[in-house]
Structures are given as structure tokens and as C-alpha cells.
Chains A and B, each alone.
Chain A
């Protein structure tokens, strides 16, 4: 009898109710608002499973097995990257390689937020003093790239993994709300109306095949810590571009990504135990994640404005904002903004190029942080 009652007695803990609220809120965001539903829905349900008092899903249950087998050893984010690589067409970037630099510029939020976390952590009583590793794990939310955030957080701050993941995926889905006001604040209407010629250049299949191999080798030699991330992304892309592994490419894009996303989401959700999740640090991490996205956007836009000072043919500075890795959401947002100012202005090819560059840059950023932070 006591076995049956202990679950009901366990419900007297307010944290259980609070975490049920968090889990249901994630499910609501996924179902009603369609914010990253493929991840937030499994996360929300995983959160419910983990917070039912004396749940058999955790504490040695199947979610613990998944956590050890897919998160602790970083397997799930790596497998996701194979799928992401198979989905990405680097064509727009290869046609217009200058877009790479916007990907680099828009990583600014990572480092701004990392410094902010370090400084905030030093205010007595506000937050447990984070070391460099924790601050870097918080800053990497600014990579706007879920798997990279999970990968770095797992290594540097496993205790903060859940709030970092929630922040990363939530803000990625909120890019259409976060980016436009930042861009409008930093640009004039005339700047937002700048037209850009679409690159006419055709890219040969040979270039598309060599690119992922060469990037893996170069990035790997410069930052060996990035090999797992960049290597899996580029492996997926090679499956796509080789033209001889169509079945594998489709499997990576569909079956592999879907299966791992289910497991990743529900497992991350299971790490949202009330005791670990409900504390002021979680709220601070979620607030700093927003700051990271804002400063990513600002970094990209301001970089575009800076190089426009030296160029004859101006770049629409909104393209800089696409350098964040939230692909392809950011490119869509910028094209929509361009058309709001001028219905016949099409900058989508440049926007996608910068967005894809952001994907590469965020992984490089993750690899560099893993290599440099001790």
C-alpha cells in the first residue's frame, strides 16, 4: 500500500508541480506555437517523465541509459550533425564565399555572453561563481546551434546542460521575434533596401565534393577538438554531394535525424529534474541566452556596416544578421524584412550563404572554445 501512496505523497513537493508546469509549457510551445516542435515536444514529455515522483524512467531507468549512451559520450549531437550536413546545400556559400565572414562576425554573442557570465558570476549572491568552463558553456548558446551547445555543455558544464539546451532551442525558434528589432535599431531604411546582385557563377560538382573533405582536414588540423563536430557535418554533406550515396543521404536526412532527435529531446528533457533546474542560475542562463542572440545579430550587422565603409558595391547589412547559425530561419527572416521595405528586393541567396557560413563558424567557435578553455 505504501508503495502505491508514495507517488501521491511525493506530489507534496512544490518543485514537482513547477516542473510539470515547465514540461507542459514546452509541449504547449511545440503544439500551439510550433516553436521547434520536433525537439521541444520530446523535451517537454521527458521533463514530465523525469519529475513524476519515484519515476521508473530515471534513477537507472531507460532515460538514464539513453543519457549515458547518447549525451554523456556526445553521440547524439554528433549523429544529428550527420543529418544536418546531409540537409545543407553549400551551393549559395560556394557561389559567394565572402559570406563566410558574416558567419564569423555573428559569433560575437558567444564571447560577449561568456564574459557577461564571468562578470555576473562574480557578483556575490547572484550566481554560483562560474569558472571559465561554465561561462563558455553558457556563452555557446550564442552559437545558435543546438548540437554544438549540447556538445560543449556536456564537456564543460554537465550540470547546466538542461537550461543551456532549453535556451538554445527556444531562442532558435524565436529568431523571427528576436532579430528584426535588433536589425531595425542598427540600420536605416535605406540600408535595408540595398539590393544585391545574385551571383551568376555556377559551382561544379567537383568543388561541392572537395569542399567538405578539405574543410574537415583544414579545420581538424587547426583545431583537432572540432573534428567530431565538423567531421560529422561534412560527412553528411559529402553523402549528399557525392551523388552516389543517395540512399544514405536520404536516410541521414530523414530516418537518422528523426530517430536521434526523438532520443535527444526526451533525454535532455529527462535531465530537467526539479532540484537541478529550479534555481536562479537557470533563469540567468535563459536571460543570457537571449543576450547572446541579440549580440550575435548586432555583431553581424555592424560588421556588414563596417565593411560597407570600404566597398563600392554595398552589402545589405541585414545579411550580417544571417551569420548566426539558426538555419534556415534567419535567412527567411531577413528576406522577409527586405521585402517589407521593397517588395521586389530578393537577397535570399546571399542570406542563405551567410546562414550556412554561420553553421560552419559556430562549429569552429565550439571547437576553438573546447581547445582553448581549460
Chain B
């Protein structure tokens, strides 16, 4: 395989997986925030 194409494939795959990982972290963050601050709190 052309080395540039192979590198492109590696970066594409890695980037796509990493997007899920980063957004998965945000998912955990939101869940945590909702647990810590469960109700409407307009005084913040």
C-alpha cells in the first residue's frame, strides 16, 4: 500500500476512535455534574 495512504488510514482510524474517547469523557463529566448538582440551582 502507498505509504501516504497507509498513514492516512492510520490517522483517520485513530482520530475517529479518539473522538469517541473524548466525547465519552464528556459523557462521564456530564453524568458526574448531574449527580453532584442534581436539581435546578439558580443561586449559583
Contact = CB atoms under 8 A, between A and B. Distances in A.
B37 A214 contact: no
Contact of B9 (A93, A105, A115, A372): A115
Nearest to B38: A204
A215 B26 contact: yes
Contact of B11 (A132, A209, A215): A132
Given A107-B19, A207-B37, A218-B25, A115 B12 contact: yes
A219 B16 CA distance: 15
Contact of B8 (A97, A132, A209, A222): A132
Contacts of B5: 115, 118-119, 122
Contact of A206 (B19, B23, B41): B41
A130 B9 CA distance: 15
A108 interface: yes
Nearest to A205: B44
Q: Which size class do B's interface residues fall under?
A: 20 to 34
Interface in A88-109: 93-94, 97-98, 100-101, 103-105, 107-108
A286 interface: no
Interface stretch (A28-36, A249-257, A313-321, A356-364): A356-364
B14 A364 contact: no
A206 B37 CA distance: 7
A211 interface: yes
Given A100-B27, A203-B34, A222 B39 contact: no
A131 B23 contact: no
Contacts of A136: 11
Contacts of A111: 12-13, 15-16
Nearest to B13: A111
A210 B23 CA distance: 16
A129 B22 CA distance: 32
A204 B41 contact: yes
A218 B26 contact: yes
B14 to A, nearest CB: 7
A36 B16 CA distance: 28
B15 to A, nearest CB: 4
Given A115-B12, A218-B29, A104 B37 contact: no
A135 interface: yes
B39 A204 contact: yes
A93 B24 CA distance: 13
Interface string A190-214: 0000000000011111110111001
A40 interface: no
Nearest to A107: B19
A32 B37 CA distance: 48
A361 B20 CA distance: 9
A223 interface: yes
Given A101-B23, A132-B7, A368-B19, A214 B29 contact: yes
B7 to A, nearest CB: 6
Nearest to A207: B33
B15 A202 contact: no
19 contacts: A94-B33, A98-B27, A104-B19, A108-B16, A115-B9, A204-B38, A204-B39, A205-B40, A205-B41, A207-B30, A207-B37, A211-B30, A215-B29, A218-B22, A218-B29, A219-B22, A361-B23, A365-B15, A369-B15
